[in-house]
Amino acid sequence: MLKVLLVDDHPSFRRGVKEILTEGLEGVKIGEAGDAQQMLELVRDRKWDLVIMDITLPGRSGLDAIKELKDTAPSLPVLVLTMHPEDQYAIRMFKAGVDGYVNKASAPAELVRAIKKVLTGGQYVSTELAEKLALTLKTGTDQFPHERLSDREYQVLCMLASGQTVSDIAKAINLSVTTVSTYRARILEKMSMKNNAELTRYAVDAGLV
């Protein structure tokens, strides 16, 4: 029996995905988690064939959750299912160890295809992302200023560019306002920019938000 752990903080969305999986995969048993901590506890306590997870989870960044998940169960396949566009997070997610990346707006059939490919040991990416990954590996260098940022700095950049305040960000990712302000200062320095307006303009032009 195929055992899949579905991780998303919206019960109604999990219900919809469960219906897709039940219809598209024979003999599947689905477990559920609403946050990263619950996911990690379930992974430690039970054996799973696949984790399908969002990267926007309460209490912990998606990148942090994936890294801890991979530390706990290095061989467990992970498929990211999220609303964030591929250009925003996918490359960093693959570097962190995920096996596939699917946007929530994709058709149900694409999700099932991605699951089947990941379960057979492959990786699932869209054609556009595959081209970007290939180019990044070929050049071996960062192409864009935002690729110089750490994972946490990149997360803060995207949140700032989305219009969130330092206080909003601190609350969302469980950090102090001072720490988030420090990240903001580092981002501005690394990207040679002066203020949030420049960061936002860059993020929009680069397709990050």
Q: Read out DSSP for the chain?
A: -EEEEEE-S-HHHHHHHHHHHHHHSTTEEEEEESSHHHHHHHHHHS--SEEEE-SEETTEEHHHHHHHHHHH-TTS-EEEEESS-HHHHHHHHHHHT-SEEEETTS-HHHHHHHHHHHHTT--B--HHHHHHHHHHHHH-S--SGGGGS-HHHHHHHHHHHTT--HHHHHHHTT--HHHHHHHHHHHHHHTT--SHHHHHHHHHHTT--
Would you place residue 138 in the very low, low, confident or very high pLDDT band (cuts 50, 70, 90)?
low
Fold of 2-139: Rossmann fold (3.40.50)
Whether the pLDDT of residue 206 is over 80: the answer is no
Fold of 145-205: Arc Repressor Mutant, subunit A (1.10.10)
Q: Rounded distance, CA 204 to CA 196, Å?
A: 12
pLDDT value for 103: 87
Q: Rounded distance, CA 62 to CA 175, Å?
A: 15
Domain spans of the chain, in order of start: 2-139, 145-205
* pTM attached to this predicted model: 0.70
pLDDT value for 117: 94
If you average pLDDT over residues 114-138, what whole number do you get?
79
| Per-residue pLDDT tens over the stretch 161-202 | 989 999 999 998 888 999 999 999 999 998 888 899 999 988
The mean pLDDT of the chain is: 87
pLDDT value for 204: 83
If you average pLDDT over residues 24-37, what whole number do you get?
93
